[in-house]
Each structure stands twice: as structure tokens, then as C-alpha cells.
Amino acid sequence: MSIGAASRIDLSTPSPEARARALFVQAFGTEPAAMAFAPGRVNLIGDHVDYCDGLVFPAALSDGCVCAVGPRSGEICAVSAEIDGEPVVDVLSPLTPSDLADLPGWFGYVAGTYEVMRSRFMPGAGGVNIAVASEVPPGSGLSSSASLEVSVATALEALWGIRVDPVEKALACQKAEHEFADTPCGLMDQLVSITGRAGCAVSIDCRDRSATPVPLPPASRASFVIFDSVVSHANGDGGYAERRAACESALPKLGVASLRDFPVEGLAALPADLTDAERDATNHVVTEIDRVRRFQALLAAGKLAEAGALMDESHRSLAEVFRVSCPELDTLAEIVRTQEGVHGARMTGGGFGGWVVALIDTPKIDEVEDAVVRAYRRATKLETTHRVVRPGDGARIIKS
Ligand code: ADP
Ligand code: MG
């Protein structure tokens, strides 16, 4: 386990836009030709279902990553405000992951996004200088990786004078992450980073890739607040890949092409030949997709207590059935959930650490935050930080 120093953000630093621009000028001695912003995200409900054709309900944050770009002759060179180094690679056609083998891992997200965007939408594009600066803490479940990829892809659109369809852009970023960062992610993070809308969460159907903004309750009444567990258990020792594999291998035994097609009623009589891992995966995924549907309906009807109860249920399923939580996350979710004014609380993201998201009556937020900080410190000796989620718009060009 690592205690996530990386998950703290100094809010006194200048905006990521100012930092990306300054970094670009410092590294490359000229103003960037184009700049773009792409947000991180928090998933309100529907975790570990995006890779099963499921339904998810994330919101884009108002925090994100800014990418500044400019032309360079024959090479891709990148700098990050958050990480030392200035990796460079020749523009090869095609650029492959093995060309990046000796370069730092984060460069894979950047050069990979360049390569997929170039090969699909701008064959023959020249080299680039890239500077990024982010306010999304890396590796903690708020999707710093997608905001990085989407900011790079969007800055390249501006630089190259092209417009790429939102779903195609999300798929290009996902492919970059699969192939150049070796992470078999779903499409949710990239899609919400592109299609987010202020004041809304985005209802995403991972099967047909539709993304529909849905207004959240008025901020004066209730808000989503996220609390950092301050731990990250490095992908749960391969736990993510194992869980995905169980979702796959259950399918022939269940007689469906996707867990999305398996009815909730069928859970009462699952086939006997499922392994324990396949049974747990089926139970979690099928009930979680059902919870997303019900959550959206309850929220739209203003039934916050009932919606919150589904968040609690979702946490229980992730922790006890799918087992992707950890003791600190469970402790934090329990502390948050039991405060007055909180409708529900759950871990969010891939798990094994990261953040808890809660639905809280807005007038109660300050009181809840104070109580949670104290109780989490008492229970774990860790200092949680928190942010009120102010759902923002998706990726945008800042300069072209
Ligand atoms: P999450 O997306 O939940 O934050 P991931 O493990 O998917 O976590 O992605 C984190 C990785 O993304 C980092 O380890 C790093 O390689 C890359 N990354 C994210 N933000 C930045 C940044 N500002 N500069 C450089 N690399 C970054
Ligand atoms: Mg990620």
C-alpha cells in the first residue's frame, strides 16, 4: 500500500491553464500554438460495469488537465508540470509501444494518444511539443489518465484544424490507454471527459456508447461530495484484470453474450458450474446495472433518501460481493454514511483505494466534512481531504 502523497492538490497553485502555458514556454522557448482542457470525473454509481456493456452515471469535474501543443520537427517531446523529465521519441509510422519501452510510463498516455489520433485522423502529421498540467490527482480514481488523453487529443484537433466525432475521439483515447499504457479500461472515463455538461451527470450506455446529460438536483438542495481515503493499493495486485476475466468466463455458463443481458430475476437460480469468482462477478454486475437505472429515476423524482440508499447498496456490493474495496475505504464510507444530512455514500472508481462519493444535503456539508475529517483521523490516523463536486463541461479548446 502507498499513502497517496500524489493525491493531494495544492489549491494555491495557479490554474492548470497558466501552468501548462508557462511550462510550454519554459521548455520549448515559444508560445503554444494550441491549448485544450479536459476534465476528470467522478462516477456517481455504476462501477465495474463499463466493461460489461453496462450503464454508468459519472459527472465531469470542473477540475481537469490542460494540454499545450506546438509543432516540432520529426519528434514528439512532452513535459508534465507534475512529473520530471522530457521524454522524446521520433515520429515513426507507426509508433508502437515497444518504441517507448525505455521511456517513462506516463509518456505512453501522451505519445499513444498522438499516435492513435494521427493514424486515424491525420496521417502524415508532423512532430509535436506537448506540455501538460493537471489538477486531477493521479491514480486515485478521478481519472487523471482520461483527462490527460482527452486534453492531448483535443489540443491536437485544434493544432491540426480537425474536428473528431466525440465517440471516435473517446475510442481513440481508450485505444491509446489499452495499447500504450497497458491498461484495459472501459470507455466511460474518456466519454464523460468529452461529453460532460455543467450541472449534470452523464447517463452512459456502454453498449451503444450513447451519452446523455441528466440534470442533478439543484445545488442549493443537495450536492455530491467526494472524500479521499488517501490510500491506493496499486490496482489490488492485479485485481482489476482478475475481476474482468471472471465477468468474461461466466458468460458461456450463463448463456448470454454479455452480463448486460442477464436478468436480475435470474440471480436467484444461477448455474451450479459457476466458480465462486464468476458467481460474485455476475451478482455484482447485474445488480449494479439495475441500481444505476433505479438511481437515475429516483434522482429525477427528487427522492434523495431512496437514491442514497442505492449508493449504500452499491458500496456493499463492491466491497462484500465483488471485493474491490479495502479497509480504509470501507471505514471512510461508513463514517460518511452515518452523518446527519447524508443520504448515501459509496466508493467510486476501480477501488482498492481512492475516493468515496456521497450525496449530502447542501446546508449540512460543512458540518459533515468537519465530522468526517475528525472521525477518519481517529480511526486511521489519515487526513482525508474533500471536495464538493461541481459538475463541469466536457473537453474544450482554449486556444487554436
Ligand atoms: P486515474 O486515472 O484514476 O487517475 P490511472 O492509473 O488510470 O489513475 O492513471 C494515472 C496515470 O496517468 C499516472 O500514473 C500517469 O502515468 C498518468 N498521468 C496522469 N496525470 C498526469 C500528469 N499530469 N502528468 C503526467 N502523467 C499523468
Ligand atoms: Mg485512469
* 11 pLDDT more than 50: no
- State the pLDDT confidence band at 8, using cuts at 50, 70 and 90: very low
Q: How far apart are CA 75 and CA 162, in angstroms?
A: 21
Q: Which helix (H) or strand (E) segment is 281 a member of? A: helix 276-300
Determine if ligand 1 sits within 6 Å of the CB of residue 132: yes
For 68-125, the pLDDT digits (tens) are 999 999 999 999 999 999 999 999 889 999 999 999 999 999 999 999 999 999 999 9
Q: Does domain 217-388 have CATH number 3.30.70.890?
A: yes
Which residue is listed with cell 446529460? 213
- State the pLDDT confidence band at 184, using cuts at 50, 70 and 90: confident
pLDDT at residue 237, as a whole number: 58
pLDDT at residue 172, as a whole number: 98
pTM of the full structure:
0.93
Residues 6+ apart with CB under 8 A from 17: 35, 37, 66, 133, 398
Residue 159 grid cell = 493544432
Residue among 43, 103, 148 whose CB has most ligand 1 atoms within 8 A, to mutate:
148
**Domain spans of the chain, in order of start:** 5-40+62-188, 217-388
Determine if ligand 1 sits within 6 Å of the CB of residue 355: no
Residues noted as catalytic? 189
Fold of 5-40+62-188: Ribosomal Protein S5; domain 2 (3.30.230)
Which residue is listed with cell 519554459? 26
For 122-177, the pLDDT digits (tens) are 999 999 999 999 999 888 789 999 999 999 999 999 999 999 999 999 999 999 99
| Region for residue 392 given its phi and psi (left: phi exceeds 0; alpha: psi -120 to 50; beta: otherwise) | beta
Residue 112 grid cell = 499513444
- Beta-bridge mates of residue 41: 60
Q: How far apart are CA 338 and CA 375, in angstroms?
A: 11
The separation between CA 195 and the C-alpha centre of its own chain, rounded to angstroms, equals: 13
Residue 95 grid cell = 509508433
